[in-house]
Chains A and B, each alone.
Chain A
């Protein structure tokens, strides 16, 4: 297939590898890694050294994320969590600190933007304070390496004694609106990784949360393993660093969490301790009881895995309120205590796990991942990309994007009816969930071989970035015989009328999640009227809410949509009959 490379800069204009490595060496020679209270307490020079000690001692570690909006709240939170856990007979080893997004922007541009309400450090002293509040090791992920300010933030982080710095994945998926400095960003990214590499013997590791990058966008876990291998190739083989991966947010299947951890261990040739295994947050919702079940099920799997194959990954007890609000320190403590109980009970399960099967599943993923890796590297070589240049590879992989990578180089068998044209070797949890919902709905449909929508053209789309609801609807109505035209995500009202005309459709089904259902529906109807389109049926589904009447709280607007003539049934089981009635 033709690979469309949506370049934002000419990768050949990047400085050569020697200059990048030379610059990094020079920068690294001008400072040293600071010492945190945690390092002092445990007598180590880095978190990696501590993790290796813990692996030897057969002890597990725990991690939490702190996301409060000021240093004083953060400092207080550190103390409350640490002391609270101590009082409860529990512990915490590391704390992930979320910086404000403007920290990822070079200082000279910051005054042009509205800060997001999270942590902003102005001086090195403020950075240094991170590790001086309680003896818990800070971890820096977002808006560090991969941002527009990678080098400066990495140097500040190391000087403050933080030795696990990322988040490599952010380079690929996070955009700084209004600042398209991609060439600069890529050069900065390479240099920051190379600076970390200069300190690898002192224990500096590059954190990368796969789920923040293409992990969320791949459909096949085998391809994700191949992607992780590509990240290691760039950061370790070409720039000399050491990578500590994270995953977990999007892994709902507890056993898949274990299998994936084993696969990650198999591709880690330098034996670098992992970062942490994030909680399964896709199963978290507004029902606290169910969230509690989710916490116990995923943490049990992660604990069992680390007991059998200790690899330095900390367990992450996600507070039960995570999907509802920014959790308080007390809610963080509660989650830790729940996980402590799982740690106590895990040994009973561990010995009955079929490890042979787990490892053989992991080997399947690694084999697939290796094929994906080889295909991508060979293709880049064929495209004239210097496969020994970290920045050229990184820039072009981003310009190709996860969907094309998976369609062109994915390892699943080809199938034109499958999403992305391939049947995944092992689908990601999101794809498993979608497939299950879809299969259930389709199995409940009672139509003959010729579906009730045969001969009908239907347009589908999503008003925001959420695509999975749209995918389910698309496949259900396709199965019912409709000829479906997919407008994709972040659909603009301005393109809907034209699409209805070009497709000869009189039905549009839209998914929406971002609390703008009413305004979108209203503006859409105006636009269809302006285009003189009559007899068009609009269906909206997903989260049909919006703040109305001056309030900030979104309320259900289904009735308001119905009053305007929009179908707001929001029911996947009846959608085929509804569309069939428009024939």
Chain B
């Protein structure tokens, strides 16, 4: 892993792991994202990811974590903490 996501209050180590995977897949799909901007309070859109980028990042992250989140659980405008939380539930 290229680094860990920043800690936020109330996150456990599993959620930290999910955030780290999301961070790495984000940088893989959209390398021009400034890594410093990847914080749990931001959305993928805030980082400059378009809708296809966002779907690609989430798909890759699920594959890596070996989980499958039902599509209806994703909502537009979720920040990274919320995204990590719904993925965390499937671990």
**A and B part of one assembly:** no
